[in-house]
A and B are shown apart, each in its own frame.
Chain A
């Protein structure tokens, strides 16, 4: 085995168990429900940011509509549980399927577009989902859906913050693990090759269309899982939850932590979902400070906190920016 892989394996052997162990014992030190509540929220955002990372960080497709998949997952799961009386487990698998197919559907028009055009189409997608949720009868419009059942297994019900904490973070760790494994597979390398140079990837036999669409599908699938968990956790969803600002927020988490890395999006989730809650005593200032922090971070650490990824790909606009840089 070569050095790079050896190093990354050694790192993984130490860091994964440490990370998981820290997550398992954390509740011992956190007795108050509010902090657990915040941690659940961070876990959900970690899933969302990590799944967006597959679309943006691995495949290089800008997406500003990730909250749309989140909403699809939450609504499909909630409706299946309430109307059809399905269990949480069945409903969340169905919602992941729904998320996958929605992703594929979005990927089809998106595969012809790049950069800012892709941004606006995905942004539009997020808005379309919200508008449908506001207007459809089955989603109860702006009133939202209350009374969503919590997950049950055997006689155990996940109705405490603690149990949801374990469930959500288990899902987050699985998502992270899958994303990490993906990078060492034929599939993941194909995604990254499309990100780095589409034409070169195609010349090596990579079916670009297929991989771009699949990236959206898989990203959508995990975001839907987060949605399904969210619905059962808060027991109430309404269209207001899934705004454009959430898509932008998820996007920022991924970038701030480090695009294309595995730990980056999770770190970003801790920062952007956690900090505002921790700083709640400065309620009025916290988002002002957060905005400033984002600008400052981009000035001093443009690749994100953990990132080394060079975002200057080979698109035409980037080349033009490079010219601007030279002169």
Chain B
């Protein structure tokens, strides 16, 4: 399941947000997408997630073109996402949030729920068991009947990731998962992201500002600046890359560091 971003460009009414960006996300990778403010990270993320269509270029999953598909079909292509400013279903319980995440996998029509057919009962039971397993894993089982809006911020973040996981998508897109978290919570987040890859075998693509998290969790980084890919490689190489330091801190600083 390789996700390919091929020569993607995006123009917003004359402003070039992305220009000719290509890279690929190998199965089982934890790939970080970084760059200074306005570099086009979020735009690219949204194109991969299906919110925007690219002006040029393509997104492929195992050779299948995704760029013109409607947004809601991304799940069927095994791509799930989270949002920068957490988007849960605030009036549903934690458990309902997770079960809603299984939408694309459940099969029973409403008529079966009305007549409580055995197929419906089994499906509801199975989905609940599956949801509880995941909630146990992420330490939210005790919160299952609380309304999502009543959770503290850190737990909301975890719940949102859990909801994306329950879709069984191979590729997980995380949009600034550490935003708004304190140090303890981000450390927990790093562990969770590792676990998602190591134990569950998912591929993770994340956009992040928190360099601490990035350096701890990512094995590969793609750096954007002004809509152009300026570097790609392992975190330790990226840390020394002159172009990257220039993009973040300016040319003068890069010269002083002596790269």
Taking the complex as a whole, does A directly touch B, i.e. does some CB pair lie under 8 Å apart?
yes
If A3-B145, A196-B89, A197-B89 touch, whether A202 touches B100 (CB-CB below 8 Å) is: no
Q: Is A15 an interface residue (CB 8 A)?
A: no
Which single residue of chain A is at the shortest CB-CB distance from B124? Answer: A184
| Residue pair B149, A310 in contact (C-beta under 8 Å) | yes
How far apart sit A199 and B91, CA to CA, in the bound complex (Å)?
15
Q: Beyond A182-B110, A189-B99, A310-B90: 14 further Cβ-contacts under 8 Å?
A: A2-B128, A3-B144, A178-B114, A190-B100, A192-B92, A192-B96, A197-B89, A203-B71, A203-B80, A203-B83, A203-B164, A204-B163, A207-B72, A310-B91
How far is B71's CA from A208's CA once the two chains are assembled, in angstroms?
10
B-side residues, CB < 8 A to A, are 49, 51, 70-76, 80-81, 83, 87-93, 95-96, 99-101, 103-104, 106-110, 112-114, 116, 120, 124, 128, 132, 144-145, 149, 163-164, 167
Interface residues of A (CB under 8 A from B): 1-5, 177-178, 181-182, 184-190, 192-193, 195-197, 199-208, 260, 309-310, 313-314
What residues on A are CB-neighbors of B99 within 8 Å? 189
Residues of B within 8 A of A2 (CB): 95, 128, 132, 144-145
- A interface, by DSSP: helix, strand, loop or mixed? helix
Instruction: Flag if B73 contacts A186 (CB, 8 Å).
Output: no
* A206 engages B91 (CB within 8 Å): no
A200 in contact with B113 given A186-B108, A189-B99 (CB within 8 Å):
no
Q: How far is the CB of A312 from chain B (nearest CB, A)?
A: 8
A196 lies within 8 A of B108 (CB): no
Task: Considering the complex, give the chain A residue whose CB is closest to the CB of B120.
Answer: A185
Check A196 against B90 for contact (C-beta < 8 Å): yes
Asked whether A188 lies within 8 Å of B71 as measured between CB atoms, the reply is no
B101 to A: closest C-beta gap in Å: 5
> Which 8 A-B residue pairs are closest in the complex by CB-CB distance?
A205-B75, A185-B113, A205-B104, A196-B89, A200-B87, A187-B110, A4-B145, A186-B106
- Among A1, A187, A203, the one with the most B-chain Cβ atoms within 10 Å of its Cβ is A203
Q: Which residues of A contact B103 (CB under 8 A)?
A: 186, 189-190, 193, 204-206
**Cβ A204 vs Cβ B113 within 8 A:** no
In the complex, which residue of chain B has the Cβ closest to the Cβ of A3? B145
8 A-B pairs with CB atoms under 8 Å apart are A2-B95, A185-B109, A196-B88, A200-B89, A203-B72, A204-B104, A206-B100, A310-B90
B163 vs chain A, min Cβ distance (A) = 7
Structural contact, B83 and A200, CB atoms closer than 8 A? yes
